Structure 1
Amino acid sequence: MFSRLVPLLFAALLTLSACGDGGPDEGTQAAGIAVADAWVKATDADMSAAFMVLSNSAEKDATVVGVTTDLTDSAELHETKDDMMRPVDSFTIPSMDSLMLEPGGDHVMLMDLADPIEPGQEITFTLEFDDGSTFDVTATAKDFAGGDEDYEGGKGHEDHEDLEDHEGH
């Protein structure tokens, strides 16, 4: 009898595990989000950045208010405007549209990195929305020399003048 129950229990377990996709709850800002081309600049410095395209298929704007990662306790939303990089309180992803996080523009800043980020390394971020929902993103580290950004002594980095000798992301 027991040998007949095992396959049935296994089938029931597989059915139950397939019921939820593990994604954000429907009706939250995170539920309408999709991510493409997520990557992080590989570096041996203590500062880097993450880039991606965030798309919003919902009928309301979605507002990212924070980001966390296991890489550092110091991850921030940043913009580059008038050749100055600075933290911002949020990013808005317009309804039925996309927001590009890119070198020289909006991005996720990673500071106080304890370990190098190696090319090919997979890095997970959690985006936090103003309704309390979250969305996990996996990005791959890659070599990148562009962006024309330099962090030496905080140059071009308005609210972080105390930073010392950092490479650009």
Structure 2
Amino acid sequence: MNARCAFLLAGLLFAGAASAGDAEHVAASRGWIRVMPGALPAGGYVVLENHGDHAVSLRSASSPAYADVMLHRSSTDTGMGRMESVDALPIPAHGKAALSPGGYHLMLMKAAAPVKVGDKVRVTLRFADGSTLDTEFEAKPANTVDGGDMPEMHHH
């Protein structure tokens, strides 16, 4: 990591700490992305838990590993699978919201460099009040059904 990058990172972390807001009440867990072949967009999934007393709203996300990250929802109300972009994902007070295959998810587009299975990708989640939460997503194979298979299960 070069000095400029480290400096930028320190600046980002400081900025995040300065704006104590919705993000500090939210815990992210089980973040993973489905790595697709070629230049196809990857899907990002995570479980967000809100420990605060008021509902918060996830508005957007960004990642240094991808040029563009969008919040999407898959809907199959018409029996046709389609995706629509959404402006916000509400997380109820003392509740949780899951970004999962077939529901809300992040679309990570135009990888800066090829993301390989096993890579850790940093994603910054931004909430309605402007506060941010840095989350680590693990890259998993395209055929993963649910990222919930925790790695500690695989002891040989």
Normalized against structure 2, the TM-score is what? 0.74
1:142: Cα distance to partner?
1.0
Q: Mind listing any 5+ residue stretches in structure 2 that lack a counterpart?
A: 1-14, 146-156
Separation in 1 of the partners of 2:136 and 2:144?
22
Partner of 1:102: 100
Q: Mind listing any 5+ residue stretches in structure 1 that lack a counterpart?
A: 1-21, 148-169
- Residues 1:113 and 2:111 aligned together: yes
1:133: Cα distance to partner?
0.6
Separation in 2 of the partners of 1:29 and 1:49?
24
The sequence identity of aligned pairs, in percent, is: 28
The letter of the residue matching 2:86 is: V
Partner of 1:72: 66
Partner of 2:154: none
Q: Given that residues 64 and 91 in structure 1 are in contact (C-alpha distance below 8 angstroms), is that contact kept between their aligned partners in structure 2?
A: yes
Larger strand share, 1 or 2: 2
- Residues 1:32 and 2:28 aligned together: no
Separation in 2 of the partners of 1:34 and 1:71?
22
Two-structure CA RMSD over aligned residues (Å)? 2.1
1:116: Cα distance to partner?
2.2
SS of match in other structure, 2:23: helix
1:32: Cα distance to partner?
0.4
Partner of 1:45: 38
Separation in 2 of the partners of 1:145 and 1:103?
11
Partner of 1:57: 51
1:41: Cα distance to partner?
1.2
Separation in 2 of the partners of 1:94 and 1:27?
19
Partner of 2:6: none
Rg larger for: 1
1:51: Cα distance to partner?
0.5
Q: Given that residues 119 and 138 in structure 2 are in contact (C-alpha distance below 8 angstroms), is that contact kept between their aligned partners in structure 1?
A: yes
The letter of the residue matching 2:34 is: K
Normalized against structure 1, the TM-score is what? 0.68
Q: Given that residues 25 and 31 in structure 1 are in contact (C-alpha distance below 8 angstroms), is that contact kept between their aligned partners in structure 2?
A: no
Distance 1:119 1:58, change over 3 A: same
Per-residue Cα deviation, 1:67-110 (whole angstroms, up to 9, x for no partner):
11012221100001122111111111111011011111110101
The letter of the residue matching 2:37 is: D
1:115: Cα distance to partner?
2.8
The higher relative CO (CA closer than 8 Å, separation ≥ 6) is in 2
Partner of 1:140: 138
SS of match in other structure, 2:111: coil
1:26: Cα distance to partner?
7.9
1:114: Cα distance to partner?
4.0
Q: Given that residues 34 and 144 in structure 2 are in contact (C-alpha distance below 8 angstroms), is that contact kept between their aligned partners in structure 1?
A: no
